[in-house]
Chain A
Amino acid sequence: MVVVYVFLAGCGGGVFLFSFMLSLLQWYEPVARIGLVAGPVLVAIGSIMLIFDLGSPARCYRLFTTPRTLASSWMIRGSWILSVFIILGLTYGLPSFGLFAWLPWSKTSVTGSLIGVAAAFFAVFVPIYPGLLLGVIKSIPLWNTPALPLLFFLSGLDMGVALLTLVSAVIPEAVGVEGFHLLAGADVVLIALLFIALLAYIELTRQRGETAAKSVHLLKRPLCVIGVILFGMLLPLALLIVSTLASGNVLMVPIETLAGILVLVGGLLLRYSVITSGVRLPVR
């Protein structure tokens, strides 16, 4: 359950950030406006799932009644960051849709722009925050590293682009060939960065002691290696390079769509792998 929630946070933040960038450039408006709303909605879905996963869901309001714990707990910081992001993100993104056009601000108005910038600021922390939440757990070396938030952030961005590609596949005329090229290009760069970051993370963690090495051993099980690296990174990378070279070919959209789905599955499996491979330091 935690894995799904962390996955949705990654996707949600990533897709909002990319949609925001597209919005600022006023490119591919029909796709960008979907992304701007999809982001907060995905994060909201994840948050609701998390509330029901609590031992005492009825008491979840207590997450907002003790602000002094903001000074120490990443869980409370995350609750606030995500809540603010959901509200600001929806506020910024909804007026672009006919149903909400009556709202007194728009993306281009001054108020709207300020809300957008604020939402984007919080959106940066949304994919990072689960990495920080796990990162402060000193007794699990696999998680206790600044590399984890970075990994989750890069993965979040990657999944954001993948999601936008899927949205574009539904309305391809809004994006055009150059749009698909842009998405493919961004995805290729992100996958490459993520791949390097993941390998560095695995190797550096392996050297940090016996317990860390045990965690890495778990990380290297077939589901994780094949799922995350082969299907989640190398295969989509290959597909995207092929689709960029085969420009304008009718197969471009299906290929990029498949790559997008693989990236999303890879992102989910990455989080699953990291979360289930955490081995505790022995007490003695």
Chain B
Amino acid sequence: MRYGMVIDLKRCVGCNACTVACRAKNGTPAGIHYHRVEKHEVGKYPTARMEFRPIPCMHCQEPACLEVCPTGATYKRGDGLVLIDQDKCIGCRYCILACPYDVRQSLTRIENYFEHDLATPYEAKKRQDFDKGTAVKCTFCVDRLEEGLMPACVDTCPTLARTFGDLDDPTSEVSILIVRNRGTVLKEELGTKPSVYYING
């Protein structure tokens, strides 16, 4: 069982609903983004176009972050998820430096979006999940997965650009999409073996 995601770049329109859904689900403090969408111009006139590339954590099979973590706070589960044990993180930020996809962030400040000292009830509840000084990142919505749900970004996408499933199962939708569309990963040459594939790029 290896959780993975496939993102169809032809379907992605850069609406950022996934980024917002991720924010809403995780209640991340101001300035902390588990997910982002990068915008690039590709091609040449007269066939130039904008390409939008959603970037979650890649949950790599050989994560650069895990290799450099001095306390073992970053760990990899049997199902392929790369997670952070907040209790063990000492906040050295080495993993943030090491990640080639720049998907990890340091919780140096926990700030609210609205009035500085006034948290909304939702913000106040979600604050408890965050440990100041530690490193945080996308978890593929591990708690939703445990309830049999899809990650928030996958569920929300209005153009159905995102698919999630078991990469080890050759009959799963993600595996079929990758094979059929020759899915690629980012920064393959670095040997991190990401679990997020892109098709139709």
Contact = CB atoms under 8 A, between A and B. Distances in A.
Given A63-B90, A69-B70, A76-B70, A280 B102 contact: yes
Contact of B187 (A65, A140, A283): A283
Contacts of B100: 138-139, 281, 283
B90 A136 contact: no
A133 B186 CA distance: 24
Interface stretch (B120-128, B129-137, B151-159): B129-137
A54 B71 contact: no
A55 B133 contact: yes
Contact of B53 (A62, A139, A284): A284
Interface in A35-84: 54-57, 59-60, 62-63, 65-66, 68-69, 72-76, 79
Nearest to B87: A59
Interface in B36-71: 38, 40, 53, 55, 64, 66-71
Contacts of B21: none
Majority DSSP secondary structure for residues of A touching B = loop
Contacts of B38: 283-284
B91 interface: yes
Interface in B8-33: none
B90 A74 contact: no
Nearest to B192: A138
B182 interface: no
B93 A55 contact: yes
Contact of A72 (B67, B107, B131): B67
A137 interface: yes
Contacts of B53: 283-284
Interface string A128-149: 0000010011111000000000
A222 to B, nearest CB: 26
Nearest to B131: A56
B94 A55 contact: no
A48 to B, nearest CB: 15
Interface in A188-213: none
A139 B190 contact: yes
Given A54-B91, A56-B89, A62-B88, A137 B133 contact: no
Contact of B92 (A55, A68, A140): A55
A283 B101 contact: yes
A4 B111 CA distance: 29
B170 interface: no
A284 B89 contact: no
Contact of B133 (A56, A63, A136, A139): A56
Given A283-B55, A284-B53, A69 B91 contact: no
Contact of B107 (A55, A75, A76): A55
B97 interface: yes
B156 to A, nearest CB: 22
Given A56-B89, A63-B90, 9 more contacts: A55-B93, A56-B132, A59-B90, A69-B72, A73-B69, A136-B67, A139-B102, A281-B187, A284-B38
16 contacts: A56-B89, A56-B90, A59-B90, A62-B73, A62-B90, A68-B72, A69-B70, A73-B68, A73-B70, A75-B70, A76-B71, A79-B70, A133-B94, A139-B99, A139-B187, A283-B100
Interface of B: 38, 40, 53, 55, 64, 66-73, 88-94, 97-102, 106-108, 131-135, 186-187, 190
